[in-house]
A = this chain, B = another copy of it.
Amino acid sequence: MGKATRRVEMPTIKTLAEMTGFSIATVSKALRHSPVVARETRDQIFKAAEEVGYTANTRGQALRTGKTYQIAVLMPLTSASGYEWDGVEYTQILSGISQGLDGSGYRISAHIVTDAEDGAEMARQIAGLGLADGLIFSGILADDPRITLLAETAFPFVTLGRCRRDIDYAHVDVDNEWAAHAATARLIAGGHRRIALVNPSRRFSYSLDRIDGFSRAFREAGLEASLDLVVEGDLSTRFGKESAEQLLSLANPPSAFVCVNESTTLGVLAGLSALKLAAGRDVDVIAYDDINVSAYFTPPLTTLYLPIEQLGRRLGQFILRRIAGEGPGALKETFQPAIVPRQPDQCRMTPNPMTGGE
């Protein structure tokens, strides 16, 4: 009447009750395949439902059951202006989660958080107010307040990454220690002795994991790790560029880089180029590869490929199982990255007398 094109009245459970002559209770039970209702009546009700195109009203269900049929995902964005590569991998993560949730009726609600405190507050709110039935988040700190917070409640959550505290919770992770070790060992085998590690802040758990792997590779080779060449910062392209420039201007510069993600890698390459150096010729670079694009860098780089979408898929599957009541025990998985060699990664500089292998 008043409003233009008033949406046609949606059929409810009551509609079906009137159509079939059964009570709304029976209709509800039938729709949920309850065994107490006779097969024949159930069929009848389903027929009616199909006829009028009935779909359960999520709001009614939500109120009654307390469920939202939503999975909240916290997307960490620094929102540093001009740093717009930030979080690019999140599209793939969301896509993966979405696949993992497929067919379950659960939807994704995305929440942008700008830092750990913000994230903790958001987690508290989501769990406390029941804004979602489950929570997924990443960017895990060595001592992550969100994990300690949520682990105390019964609220289902799964993390992408592990914290360093001994807490029992569902998670999916990449074996960062292994990956950093593999990259570093490969470079050491190629004759490199001064290797830079372009890393995120040590607050992040995976930052520490990478330093561990990095150190182990040196230790296993009987060498002293070039820990003075470990730099940490945001993962922006700018940071990569500045790091490369700064490190290469040192008295005892690196002959190779291990880069934490593609954004910084691109920055490092830009830094090399600004110094008239080239990866694969003057310096070797091995990169973590979130979004499968390093193959197109000039030159193509050796990478540690992280199947990010697959991780996302697992996150989705795990959160569903948590919501279904399963404990965190079996819901832990660590993916081994694949090393994709695209360069010989042989050191072309004479080993520095100060640090070279003895």
Check if A39 is an interface residue, CB within 8 A of chain B.
no
Chain B residues lying within 8 Å of A77, measured Cβ to Cβ, are 91, 95
Complex contact B111–A95 (CB within 8 A): no
Size of the A side of the interface (Cβ < 8 Å), in residues, is 68
How far, in angstroms, from A7 to B130 measured CA to CA in the complex?
10
Question: A36-67, CB under 8 A of B: which get 1 and which 0?
Answer: 00000000000000000001011110110010
Stretch at the interface among A165-173, A189-197, A210-218, A288-296: A288-296
- Separation in Å of the A74 CB from the closest CB of chain B? 12
- A83-130 residues with Cβ-Cβ distance < 8 A to B are 83-88, 90-92, 94-95, 98-99, 107-112, 129-130
CB-CB contacts of A267-287 with B at 8 A, as 1s and 0s?
101100100000000000000
Q: Is A241 an interface residue (CB 8 A)?
A: yes
Contact of A292 among B85, B95, B108, B299 (CB under 8 A): B85
Chain B residue, CB-CB nearest to A238: B296
Chain B residue at smallest Cβ distance from A309:
B84
Least CB separation from A81: chain B residue: B309
Which residue of B has the minimal Cβ distance to A299? Answer: B273
Contact in complex: A7, B153 (CB < 8 Å): yes
CA distance A263 to B266 in the complex (A): 13
In the assembled complex, A308 has its CB within 8 A of some CB on chain B:
yes
A278 to chain B, nearest CB (A): 9
Q: Quickly give the copy total for this chain.
A: 2
Query: Closest approach, in angstroms, between the C-beta of A288 and any C-beta of chain B?
Result: 13
> Is the CB–CB distance between B308 and A84 below 8 Å?
yes
A76 to B293, CA, bound (A): 19
Contact pick for A58, options B87, B129, B154, B241, CB 8 Å: B129
The one of B7, B111, B152 in contact with A107, judged by C-beta atoms closer than 8 angstroms, is B111
A94/B110 contact (C-beta < 8 A), A237-B293, A308-B84 known: yes
Given the complex of chains A and B, what is the CA–CA distance between A107 and B293 in angstroms?
A: 32
Q: How far is the CB of A178 from chain B (nearest CB, A)?
A: 21
Q: Are A87 and B79 in contact (CB under 8 A)?
A: no
A91 vs B129: C-alpha distance in the bound complex, in angstroms? 26
Q: Are B70 and A296 closer than 8 Å at their CB atoms?
A: no
Contact B298 A273 (CB under 8 A): yes
Contact partners of A291 in chain B: CB under 8 A: 84-85, 88
Q: Are B95 and A91 in contact (CB under 8 A)?
A: no
A98 contact set on B, CB distance < 8 A? 110-112
In the assembly, what is the distance between CA of A129 and CA of B88, in Å? 31
A241 in contact with B88 (CB, 8 Å): no
Q: How far is the CA of A48 from the CA of B84 in the complex (A)?
A: 44
Q: Which residues of B contact A110 (CB under 8 A)?
A: 73, 94, 98, 108-110
Is A4 located at the chain interface by the 8 A CB criterion? yes
Residue in contact with A129 in the complex, picked from B55, B84, B237, CB distance below 8 Å: B55
Contact with B along A117-153 (1 / 0, CB 8 A): 0000000000001110000000000000000000011
**Nearest residue, chain B, Cβ from A102:** B112
B62 touches A3 (CB 8 A): no
What 8 A-B pairs have minimum CB-CB distances, sorted nearest first? Answer: A88-B88, A270-B296, A98-B112, A84-B292, A87-B91, A59-B62, A84-B291, A273-B298
Q: Which residues of A contact B (CB under 8 A)?
A: 3-7, 10, 55, 57-60, 62-63, 66, 68, 70, 73, 75, 77, 79, 82-88, 90-92, 94-95, 98-99, 107-112, 129-131, 152-154, 237-238, 240-241, 263, 266-267, 269-270, 273, 290-293, 295-300, 308-309
